[in-house]
Each structure stands twice: as structure tokens, then as C-alpha cells.
A = this chain, B = another copy of it.
């Protein structure tokens, strides 16, 4: 009975969603599997974590996005294992057969073998992570206000961000702004502006993916906001009240992890050798060697030896997702398709109000102009008219008043299912 080829896409992030959308007119049946019911606009997660935006503002239900794509079914569930020989995906115990498979499950945080640090230094990959970090940050100021012990007060007012990639830089800049501006006049026993925000980077400079000249500018902009930047030595331990750099102890009750990522563990169930970060090696067609029906897209992909590594950013995932869908259509039409080629449009990172860096190859910008480009690009790509408008209002208000619209502490559970 089932005559149309069946395509399973695992993961509704940028890569998976781009693939599903590119298949909208195809004579195939598409099944999109995701653990959550929504697509998350990850580049703005740090805004949810720092109480600037509400979680719904940067997310949209997958079902709603795809409601009019009649060849597509959305399934809320966790893909546990892929049977690559049997061509089937196990979703919470139920096997789902496929003719083509696109795996787009992305990455999660990694603690370099120290998973016990996760408890004290949460990372930022999902909306739950963002709400958990938000609660930690807001609660730290509350605890500082409540205690009369000056040493404990300073521990609560010290924030350490580990890792100075784009996420670390964004968190540090925004936290400094919250301490110095947003919370002004609100406390009676502490001065929130006395809070210390430390950004620790093991490498030689902040934003290592950018040219050195922009790293220097980014560091200056961070320091102007009051962030203390420390580069060149790695964090060696994280505890409830301490972050250690070798023998040096930083007394801090709040640490945030923006350092390491590991590929989604689903890749390891494919039965092929993954790289050290858990990523799956692919051919020039983004397929698993010997399995032209299985595509790997997004952060889970390890590019072939000799190719330049792809940045872990939304445009790369989208291009891969789109390519995988096109490759399936080509195979069905028995057309040939060239190898995947990544087209880099540029890199952007924001630091704070009117502070950002932008790298477009020969053109490198920092400061106000970079910030406007960042703002425009992020609002433009955010899904759905309503989200865009509400985000703009929140940002306009934050800009004029330093207020942040989502300063509520809500307890977040540990499991991904209610």
C-alpha cells in the first residue's frame, strides 16, 4: 500500500526544519521527529536566559509551522536508536521504517569528561536550559540581598562564564548590563553594580572564530561594560562555591558553561566510527559512507578530511538540511548532484547595547554598525510575524529603559517531558 518513499527527519532545529521544508512539494511522505514540540531560535537563547525575552518569543510549535505541508507528519518523541541496516528508527520503543533518513540532532554541552561540573555550571542549548539559567542569575541577586555576611554576599555577586565563544561573550556582556543598569535602585542591602562578571577563556583570545583584530575590539567592548576577561588558561574545576583556574580559586556561586560541545549521542548508534566530539564522518554528499540513504546535517556532521571545518551556526545547518533534501529529490529523479558546498555569508556576535562585531571576510565591523546588522539579521530570521513584533517591542523597551521583560523565577524540572 505504501508506495511513496518515506523520509524520516530527526530534529526540528535549523537543519532538520530546512530539510523538511525543502521537501514540501516532493512525492514523499515525511516524518519529523523531535523531543520538543517547538522549533527554538537558538541564537537568541541567551536573551531568554538573561530575562530579556519570554521563552515563547523565540520558539514556534513545529506542528504549526508545518500545518499546511500535507506530506509531513510531526511526532513528539525521542529517537533512541537508529538501525542503519534495517532502515528503521526506534522512537520511544516503536520502530519507524524509512527509505531516506536525515539526522539533524545537533549538539549538547560537554564538560571535558567532568560531568559533575554540569550541576554547578549549566550550559545553554535548550529553552529549559535558558529558564534554569535565568532562575540562577535572578536568584543569586536575591540571595546576596538576603544575607548579612559580606563574604557570602560577594560570592553571590560573582558570576563566572566559562568559554568566550559567541554565547559566552553574549552572556557576559548582558549580565554586566543587568548588574549595572537593569537592577539599579531595586535593592536595599547590596549595590548590584558591584557584581563581578568574569569571562574565562582557555584559548588566547575571545571569539576565537573571528579574526584577531575583532577579538581585540570585542574584548575592549566587554571591558567597557565592566566584564573582566581572562584568557590563556583553562578552568580546572567547578564546585558549588568556586571556580578553579589551576591553584587560583575564584569564589563564585554562579558559573555558566559556554565552553565545550559534544555531538548528540544518537550519532553513536549508527554503528560507524564517530570522531572525538561524537560527530559522524560524512561523504562529500553528507551521507554516511556505504549508506547513500542516510544524511547527517548540522552540528552532528564531521566534514571529510581535508575540508575546512564548518562553523556551528544556523546558516551552515540550514544549508546542509536544504542540500540533503535536494539530494533525495535528485536520487528519486535519478539526476546527479554535485557535492555539498558551504557558502559563508559572515559571522556576527553581539556583546551588549550598541556593541557587536561582524566579519564578512574583507569587511570587518565593530561597534554600533555591527550591532545594527546583528539586530536586523536576528529579527529578520526569527520565525513568524508575531514573534518578531513582540521581540522588537521588548528590545525597544530594554533599549530605552534598561528594563528586561521576563524577570520571573520559575522552577524548571530536569526531564524533557512533563
Contacts and interface: CB of A to CB of B under 8 A. Distances in A.
Interface of A: 36-38, 54-57, 59, 61, 63-64, 67-68, 73-77, 127-128, 131-132, 135-136, 138-139, 142, 145-146, 183-189, 386-387, 389-390, 393-394, 397, 403, 405-418
Contacts of A187: 63
A386 B390 contact: no
A68 B188 CA distance: 11
Contact of A413 (B188, B393, B411, B416): B411
Given A54-B55, A67-B186, A73-B188, A415 B411 contact: yes
A56 B135 contact: no
A71 B343 CA distance: 59
Contact of A407 (B56, B183, B186): B56
A121 to B, nearest CB: 15
A76 B405 contact: no
Contacts of A135: 418
A37 B411 contact: no
Given A36-B409, A386-B394, A390-B390, 9 more contacts: A63-B186, A67-B185, A68-B185, A76-B146, A77-B146, A127-B410, A136-B418, A410-B412, A411-B412
Nearest to A62: B186
A192 to B, nearest CB: 10
Contacts of A411: 128, 412-418
Given A68-B185, A411-B418, A412-B412, A37 B138 contact: yes
A145 B390 CA distance: 31
Contacts of A74: 186
Contacts of A73: 188-189
Given A56-B54, A57-B54, A393-B390, A407 B132 contact: no
Nearest to A415: B411
B405 A386 contact: yes
Given A132-B418, A142-B37, A386-B397, A64 B412 contact: no
A406 B406 CA distance: 14
A383 to B, nearest CB: 12
Q: 10 tightest A-B contacts by CB?
A: A411-B413, A54-B54, A135-B418, A56-B406, A63-B186, A76-B142, A54-B56, A61-B407, A413-B413, A67-B186
Contacts of A405: 56, 386-387, 390
A131 to B, nearest CB: 7
Nearest to A398: B386
28 contacts: A36-B409, A37-B138, A54-B57, A54-B406, A61-B408, A64-B403, A64-B407, A68-B185, A75-B145, A76-B145, A77-B146, A139-B418, A386-B393, A386-B397, A386-B403, A389-B393, A390-B390, A410-B412, A410-B418, A411-B412, A411-B414, A411-B415, A411-B417, A411-B418, A412-B412, A412-B413, A412-B418, A413-B413
Contacts of A412: 410-413, 418
Given A386-B394, A390-B393, A408 B37 contact: yes
Contacts of A59: 408
Contact of A410 (B61, B77, B128, B142): B128
A187 B132 CA distance: 31
Contact of A38 (B409, B413, B417): B409
A184 B64 CA distance: 9
Given A56-B405, A138-B37, A386-B394, A131 B415 contact: no
